[in-house]
Amino acid sequence: MAIVATDWTITRATKVIAYTGDVHTGVNPSYATVIEFHRWLQGLADDAVAVPSSSDQLDVTNIDPSRRSTDNIITLINGYTIDQTSSEHLYDGSVIQGTSGSDIWDGIVNFGNKGVLIQLHQNGSVVSDDWWNYSLGGSVTSAASATVVTDSALSTALSNRSLTTDDLIGFTLYNVTDGSHGIITSNTTGTITCSAGLFGGTANTFAVSDVYKVGLGVNRSVSAGISHRWMQKVRTSGTDVDLRKLLGTNRRFGYTYGEFSINATARGNNVLALSDSSDLNNATSETTVSGWQDVFIDRTDSTATVVGVNSTGQAILNVSNGALFADGDFIMWAGENSEYKIVSIATNALTLNRNLQVATAGGEAVYDLNIGYKSIDVDNNTTNENYYAVWDRGAKTINQFYEYGKYQTADGSTEQVYGLNGELFRGITHEINVDTQSATDFDAVEAVSWSGGTGQMLAINDRTGSSTKMWIQLLTGNAPVDNDTITGANSGATALVNVTVTERSISKPFVGASTGSALIGSYGLALQTADLSSSDKVTDLTNTVISPPNNVTNIVAGLANGEDRVLVAPWDGSTTDTNGDPAITKTQLAIKAASALTTDNITSVAVSTTIPSDTPSIGYIRVTDNNGFERRLHYTSWATDTFVIDTTDGNEDFLSVNANAGNNVWIAYVDALYSSTDTSGPGGQNGTDRFTSVQSGSRNLVVIVRDGGGTPIKQFISSWTQTSSNQTINAIRSTDI
């Protein structure tokens, strides 16, 4: 539409040109192309006389206000200026003003679907005011509702935008007052409905007088496939803002994610191509996903606990033993699976990189996050691969892990991911060869800088002095080049770029793509081996696609906590005991020749044949000593023909009673008293009622459950078969009273 002259003023004395009409979400805001703006100025400048009492204070006696280079490039000259508010009501080109073009707004055009929302990454952060996404809004004039906005002015506002009933379906609705949002499912000329409700606010409802806005891009053209047109400031006071680089992203939860970069804006219009559509693998509500507490970066219990109440909004966490931590560590605590980085320590008070999002009660366990360069053997070939991140998906499915990754990095996210706000986090953008590292250690993950830019270091292969590789997310400027000095912002450590810098592709979202039942993971990111199946794919830091083996979890269910003793043992598939029940195959393995057990605190048990490939990575074995007793030994790992034994478990003394070569050894796949709170073994790889192992074929097993104590039961004994799929067997607890 043509410029609405009554929405603009020109002040003769100051040469300020100002937009004075409705705001973007008002009843009837107006917009003009830059050429319409120029023609209007020139139309006033050729008037015979100005009208001092009106907005028109420009005439032929004034110095010329603007110059046209093209229809899409206009320069304000001779001291005439606009401000940010005025720039927001111009589009379809660039406006240049000031001496030698000291201030520049360049045009942005997005070709995408009508409901897409665009966030801009500029100068190392996400632009906080995304006004270009909202050209409709108002205030609630009805009674409170969790799903419906009623606004007496909506009819006029819709009419002014050539919209009517149900034209807003699929757009995002925001309650500005309480911070919540939802997806519009219907609208009339007086109401807007989000039938799935609102998320993310203090009340998640609409009350009378609440201010709302709709994610309707400014200056859209549906017929041309354009969702947004606006101008973005890229030069201020004679200096380009981050080399005029812009990155557009779209991350509406429940929809597909995308990004598009502009490496340096040019005068005129610069194109983004951002669209979204419903993500069928992201159908869980944000409210539900936000409550998931068992998905987090791989972590270790620090043994320290939280001391007392630490209030939301403070940046100090008081702990029982600050000496267990170091400056630069990443932590989280029980009850909140958000990450925090320690930036300084004063005895038992940890200063964190951000304010607490959840108040503590005291006594919570504090965990160290195993963040940065990590080595695990995803493909089970006895050789570790390296990743910048290893995640634990807890009890969630692989697709739910994908959804949680989307939640962490969605529009408006308050989560932290590897030290960055979730909305800013993208993953590794560059792999850098480095050398000549300083004596100072890098943090595992930290901000870094060099002469031409900044980034977030997500991994370094030897942060203590001999590093050869570093992986970063570029934040500002250009990637470093040969011999640039890279400096850690928190550690102060330095290293030099050694010739090669490799750009890496970004996944959208950062965790990779989901098929619904499998994850095609992003560069450098993995999950714990037990959390992956043979259908998943991960890519290590050498850019090699890794295929996990078939990890199968087998569960004994129906148990009584703290009472039932569970034993899962090998069975040959036919041998029975005198009662006709399946009998344990105790000859599964045998002690290797010249490897008799004759000392106290044995550290290993070698067997005469290769250990079966479907043996759990940790667990128990039973070894028959020379008196005929079957010793229960906890192994912490195994390789080829040798089990590595935990010497603190209490059954490792073979000095007084030996175990000769040839004595029986068998694997106890589960061998523990059932505990509903034990989810980490060693009664089995994942807990005292289950075991996880690699399986491509099948294995016959015998399950025994006994309780002769508090609520005694008759022995439950049954054959069982481990297959290439997860299995559950339910123990029958028949009373023995």
Residue 682 has pLDDT above 60, yes or no: no
138, 154, 176, 211, 427 from 141: Cα distances, Å: 9, 10, 15, 10, 44
pLDDT band, very low/low/confident/very high, at 683 (cuts 50, 70, 90): very low
Q: Among residues 261, 259, 229, which one has the least CA distance to residue 245?
A: 261
Q: Residue holding tokens 């500005």?
A: 176
Per-residue model confidence (pLDDT) at position 53: 59
With beta carbons less than 8 A apart as the criterion, state whether 534 and 518 touch.
no
What three-state secondary structure class fits 113? coil
Compute the distance between CA of residue 14 and CA of residue 62 in angstroms, rounded to an integer. Answer: 12
Per-residue model confidence (pLDDT) at position 465: 83
Mean pLDDT for the stretch of residues 283-287: 94
pLDDT band, very low/low/confident/very high, at 451 (cuts 50, 70, 90): very high
Mean pLDDT for the stretch of residues 87-113: 97
Compute the distance between CA of residue 124 and CA of residue 474 in angstroms, rounded to an integer. Answer: 8
Type of residue numbered 420: L
Residue 79 has pLDDT above 80, yes or no: yes
Of the ranges 343-352, 375-384, 722-731, the best mean pLDDT one? 343-352
Residue 142 has pLDDT above 80, yes or no: yes
731 CB-contact burial (10 Å; exposed 0-12 / middle 13-18 / buried 19+): buried
Per-residue model confidence (pLDDT) at position 55: 66
| Residue 224 CB contacts under 8 Å (≥ 6 apart), including other chains | none
What three-state secondary structure class fits 222? helix
Per-residue model confidence (pLDDT) at position 309: 96
Q: How many CB atoms lie within 10 A of CB 505?
A: 12
Q: How many CB atoms lie within 10 A of CB 392?
A: 18
Residue 686 has pLDDT above 80, yes or no: no
Per-residue model confidence (pLDDT) at position 266: 98
pLDDT of 205-239, one tens digit each? 999 999 999 999 999 999 999 999 999 999 999 99
Write phi, then psi, for 37 (nearest 5 degrees): -60, -45
Mean pLDDT for the stretch of residues 388-400: 95
What three-state secondary structure class fits 210? coil
pLDDT of 532-585, one tens digit each? 989 999 999 999 999 999 888 899 999 988 899 999 999 999 999 999 999 999
pLDDT of 324-347, one tens digit each? 999 999 999 998 889 999 999 999
pLDDT band, very low/low/confident/very high, at 722 (cuts 50, 70, 90): very high
Compute the distance between CA of residue 671 and CA of residue 669 in angstroms, rounded to an integer. Answer: 7
pLDDT of 163-186, one tens digit each? 999 999 999 999 999 999 999 999
Write phi, then psi, for 43 (nearest 5 degrees): -65, -35
Compute the distance between CA of residue 596 and CA of residue 737 in angstroms, rounded to an integer. Answer: 45
Residue 688 has pLDDT above 80, yes or no: no
Strand partners, 214: 136, 173
Q: Among residues 117, 118, 177, 115, which one has the least CA distance to residue 149?
A: 177
Residue 157 has pLDDT above 80, yes or no: yes
Per-residue model confidence (pLDDT) at position 1: 60
List the 519-523 sheet strands across, edge first. 512-514, 519-523, 537-539, 545-546
Per-residue model confidence (pLDDT) at position 52: 67
Number of H helices, E strands in the chain: 5, 58
Instruction: Kindly report which listed range (40-49, 54-63, 365-374, 574-583) carries the lowest average pLDDT score.
Output: 54-63
Residue 595 has pLDDT above 90, yes or no: yes
| Residue 53 CB contacts under 8 Å (≥ 6 apart), including other chains | none
Mean pLDDT for the stretch of residues 100-124: 97
pLDDT band, very low/low/confident/very high, at 353 (cuts 50, 70, 90): very high
Tokens encoding 275: 């669209």
With beta carbons less than 8 A apart as the criterion, state whether 663 and 625 touch.
yes
With beta carbons less than 8 A apart as the criterion, state whether 327 and 343 touch.
yes
Q: Among residues 685, 680, 667, 669, which one has the least CA distance to residue 621?
A: 667
69, 83, 140, 736 from 565: Cα distances, Å: 85, 75, 62, 15
Q: Among residues 439, 426, 454, 453, which one has the least CA distance to residue 491?
A: 439
pLDDT band, very low/low/confident/very high, at 679 (cuts 50, 70, 90): low
Compute the distance between CA of residue 501 and CA of residue 477 in angstroms, rounded to an integer. Answer: 15
pLDDT band, very low/low/confident/very high, at 17 (cuts 50, 70, 90): very high
Compute the distance between CA of residue 614 and CA of residue 721 in angstroms, rounded to an integer. Answer: 13
Residue 8 has pLDDT above 70, yes or no: yes
With beta carbons less than 8 A apart as the criterion, state whether 406 and 306 touch.
no
